[in-house]
Structures are given as structure tokens and as C-alpha cells.
Amino acid sequence: MTETHNKQAFELNKLRKRLRRQVGQAIADYNMIEDGDKVMVCLSGGKDSYTMLDILLNLRDHAPISFELIAVNLDQKQPGFPEHVLPEYLTSIGVPFHIIEKDTYSIVKEVVPEGKTTCGICSRLRRGSLYGFARESGITKIALGHHRDDIIETLFLNMFFGSKIKAMPPKLLSDDKTNIVIRPLAYARESDIQRYADARQFPIIPCNLCGSQENLQRQVIKDMLQGWEKQHPGRLENIFRSLQNISPSQLADGELFDFKGLELQRQPATGDEEFILDDHLQPALAR
């Protein structure tokens, strides 16, 4: 029993170190958190946000800079939501928190016709509530729990169903320029997060999917990507890295690269230059 426990502790510690390294690297690469920041950690009760909070707390205690963390949950008054779980957990670990109570669920049900997708309006209402609280509370960074796999799935969702190359950036300035959103788990794999959450035994709040078209589409994309990764290990990491290595001149977006303005920038070749070029190529052409 002791040997099994020691092995589990060893594996958990190794996993925690990997997640800490990945989160720390993402924070450094995108300057996500700075000295004196007040970071709002958006906590939904799922594995991703619990893991994000846990790793950020660990990093905060060892970071060379000083920053504050506050956990925030938006209670949208969905039927059956266990309101006691998050307050009890956050109190037990000594993390300051705030529960925003806003009945966006009823608004969505009232506005959206039966059978139509609710994702768009639900997302806007949720974002508006969180952004508003952040402004009122002096929050300097809003941390969301999206991980590497979420970012890749969003890329393919937008390609397949929106005809655009667009994903989730690790760091984002809101449209009104009043909030900065960060995604500290941007380098973390979902499988690692799941294993970590299981090992830490977080009080997970079940996700009651609304059955919307977007969620169904995302699951199709997820299944496709998991199939690729199983058949070709490392493919997802290569896809993610490609998002960090963009060549606008090798795509087809005239807004990103001036294709119309391309002009030759060479001097006309003289007869001697043409002869030298031909002489140089002759051996290869004779093969």
C-alpha cells in the first residue's frame, strides 16, 4: 500500500512540475502577469479552472514578483447548479473569492427560440458580467482556463464552420481596451490536466452541456484530433506550434500581406551573367 502511495505521489509531483513549467513558460512568453497585478481567476468548477487556480497559487508563492489572485465564479442560475461547492472549497484553501450572481440563464431561455443555439448570446452575457466585475474591482488581468487542446479545437472549428483561420490567443486585449484576458494553460495538454485534477480530487461540478450545435461541432473536432494524435503522436503539438510560426506571405490574405504590391527588385541580366548562369547549370542539365 505504501509503495503504491509513494508511486502515486511521485507521479503527481512530476505532473505538477510539468504543468508549473508550462504555465510559467506561457506567462513569460506573453508577459501575462506582471509585478503588482490583481489577477481574477475565473472558476467554473471544471477540471481546467481548478487546475489553473492550483498551479497559479503554487507559482505565486515562489515567483520573483508579487501579484494577487482572486477566484471569481459566475452563478448563472442554471437549474441544479450546486451553489455550495465552490465557496466551501475556496474557503477551505484560504483563497479570496467572489460569486457573481446573475440570472443570465433565464435571459437566454427567454430570448433564444426553442431549438436554436444559445452559445452566442450566453457567451456575450457571461463575458459582459465578468468584464464588468473586473473593471469595478480593479482587476488588471482576467485568467481563463482554456488549454492547448481548446485552442487547437477552436482553430479547426473556425476553419471548418467559419471559413477563417482564428483560434484563441494566449493573451488578449478586450475590444473596449479595458480588460486584458490571459490563458495561462495555453501550453498544457488536456490529458495532463485531467490526470492532475483526478489526482488532486478537486470537487468537480458536472458540466451540463446544453446540447447546442456548437458543442456538438466541437465534439466532432475533438474526436477527429484525438484520432490524429493516436495515429500520429505529436501531431497536436506541431499544430499548436504552427500557430506560433505564421508566414503571411505564404497564405492568401491580402490584409496581412500586400500581394498586389509585389514587384521585381532585380537588375536586368547582362549577356555575360546569362552565360555564367547557363555554364553553372550545364552539368546538372546534362545528367
Q: With 0-12 CB in 10 A as exposed, 13-18 as middle and 19+ as buried, what is 73?
A: buried
- Tell me the pLDDT band of 9, cut-offs 50, 70 and 90: confident
- pLDDT tens figures, 206-254: 866 454 555 788 899 999 999 999 999 999 999 999 999 999 999 999 9
Q: Cβ of 229: how many Cβ atoms within 10 Å?
A: 18
Give the CATH number, domain containing residue 193. 3.40.50.620
Question: What are the distances in angstroms from CA 7 to CA 1, 46, 89, 169, 196?
Answer: 10, 26, 27, 37, 14
The binding site comprises: 119, 122, 210
Q: Does residue 272 form part of some domain?
A: no
- Tell me the pLDDT band of 76, cut-offs 50, 70 and 90: confident
- pLDDT tens figures, 251-274: 999 999 999 999 999 887 665 555
State the residue range of the domain holding 219.
2-247
Q: Does residue 254 form part of some domain?
A: no
What nine digits make up the cell of 54? 492550483
Give the pLDDT of residue 115. 61
Q: Tell me the whole-structure pTM to 2 decimals.
A: 0.86
118-130 burial, b at 16+ Cβ within 10 Å, e below that, comes to bbeebeebbeebb
- Check pLDDT > 80 for residue 286: no
Give the pLDDT of residue 211. 47
Greatest mean pLDDT among 46-55, 98-107, 202-211: 46-55
Which stretch of 24-38, 119-133, 155-169, 176-190 has the lowest confidence by average pLDDT?
119-133
Are 67 and 34 in contact, with CB atoms under 8 Å apart? yes
Give the pLDDT of residue 272. 56
The stretch 113-117 carries a mean pLDDT of: 65
Compute the CA torsion angle 137, 139, 145, 150 (nearest 10 deg): 110
Give the pLDDT of residue 209. 43
- Check pLDDT > 60 for residue 285: no
- Check pLDDT > 50 for residue 102: yes
Q: Does residue 255 form part of some domain?
A: no
Which stretch of 7-16, 163-172, 178-187 has the lowest confidence by average pLDDT?
7-16
Give the pLDDT of residue 242. 98
Q: Does residue 270 form part of some domain?
A: no
Give the pLDDT of residue 236. 98
Q: Does residue 274 form part of some domain?
A: no
The binding site for [4Fe-4S] cluster comprises: 119, 122, 210
Q: Does residue 259 form part of some domain?
A: no
- Check pLDDT > 70 for residue 283: no
How many domains would you assign to the chain?
1
- Check pLDDT > 70 for residue 287: no
Q: Does residue 14 form part of some domain?
A: yes
Q: Does residue 253 form part of some domain?
A: no
- Check pLDDT > 90 for residue 78: no
On average, the pLDDT of the chain sits at: 89
- Tell me the pLDDT band of 118, cut-offs 50, 70 and 90: low
